[in-house]
Chains A and B, each alone.
Chain A
Amino acid sequence: MSASQIIFYIIAAIIIGGGILAVTSRKIFRAAVFLLFSLLGIAALYFYLNYEFIAAVQIVVYVGGIVVLIIFSIFLTHASGDEMKKPVLWRSVFAGLAAVFATALTFLYITEHNFVANSAASVSPSVRNIGLQMLSTTEHGYILPFEVVSMLLLAALIGCIVIAIKIKTKE
């Protein structure tokens, strides 16, 4: 086994182990911390594949943003040391069976399928190439989705404020 493979299997173990503990841990705060490890493992996988920009975005948005938001909402809505109720036995058994069989079936199809790589010259996923293509107005530019997503973010921002605002009732 080469060093590259060992690193990949360590990253995969962090991702899968963090994911499993995040969905099975009975303490909600611990579940959030395990989710954090899983997301960091995914960022490490992007670094492993040489997609540095996506890895940086993953760390900034998920680890720095969403997980912190989740932890704050846990503090606002729970006594964070409490244990959650145990899931009903038949539900976890059937959900586990469904997940295991679906995973096995998908593994089977992945191993059977013969992926054909495109042999054209590769483009480096550098920040320069990403930025140029993101804001280009030519055929393969992404300026329109970029602007649409900015509107979506503005709508989400206003929507969050409107939903979560506390209305004072008159005494």
Chain B
Amino acid sequence: MNEIGLTQILFVSTALFFIGVYGFLTRKNMITMLMSIELLLNSVNINFIAFNKYLYADKLVGLFFTVFIITIAAAEAAVAIAIIIHLYRKLKSIDVDDTDIMKF
């Protein structure tokens, strides 16, 4: 425990991942659920970078995965927010309990 290694960084990313899971399970508001998903994606990115640095320093594979995950996360957030704004116009609410218009 005297030098910062892979284990410490994995502890941080694990804790962040399950904080995100907790938020996703308890929140009822779509924007805050989206924020939890961002936390999950970020903890995965930390894992990729840490493994790349400490275990496979001869390649850049983890780094490229991180770049592509960040790109796709940005696209996903933009589409999700477009959907949320459209739902808000239709229902005047972004609570997941009110969003049942696809049921029949």
- Chain A contact-residue range equals 35 or more
Chain A residues 1 to 31 lying within 8 A of chain B, measured CB to CB, are: 4-5, 8, 12, 15-16, 19-20, 22-24, 28, 31
Chain B residues 9 to 49 lying within 8 A of chain A, measured CB to CB, are: 9-12, 14-16, 18-23, 25-29, 31-32, 34-36, 38-39, 42, 45-46, 49
Answer whether A42 and B42 are a contact pair too, CB < 8 Å, given A51-B49, A77-B31, A110-B7. Answer: yes
Chain A residues 105 to 156 lying within 8 A of chain B, measured CB to CB, are: 106-107, 110-111, 115-118, 120-123, 125, 129-130, 133-134, 140, 142, 145, 149, 152-153, 156
SS class, residues of chain B in contact with chain A = helix
SS class, residues of chain A in contact with chain B = helix
A95 pairs with B26, CB closer than 8 A: yes
Contacts of B29 in A (CB 8 A): 28, 84
Contacts of B82 in A (CB 8 A): 159-161, 163-164
CA A66 to CA B74, docked complex, whole Å:
7
Contacts of B64 in A (CB 8 A): 130, 133-134, 142, 145
CA A102 to CA B34, docked complex, whole Å:
21
B9 pairs with A45, CB closer than 8 A: yes
CA A25 to CA B85, docked complex, whole Å:
22
Answer whether A145 and B68 are a contact pair too, CB < 8 Å, given A23-B27, A73-B84, A95-B22. Answer: yes
Q: Which of A107, A110, A116, A161 contacts B55 (CB 8 A)?
A: A116
At the interface, yes or no: B59 with Cβ under 8 Å from chain A?
A: yes
Where the two chains meet, the residues of B that have a C-beta atom closer than 8 Å to any C-beta of A are 2-4, 6-12, 14-16, 18-23, 25-29, 31-32, 34-36, 38-39, 42, 45-46, 49-50, 52-60, 63-64, 66-68, 70-79, 81-86, 88-89, 94
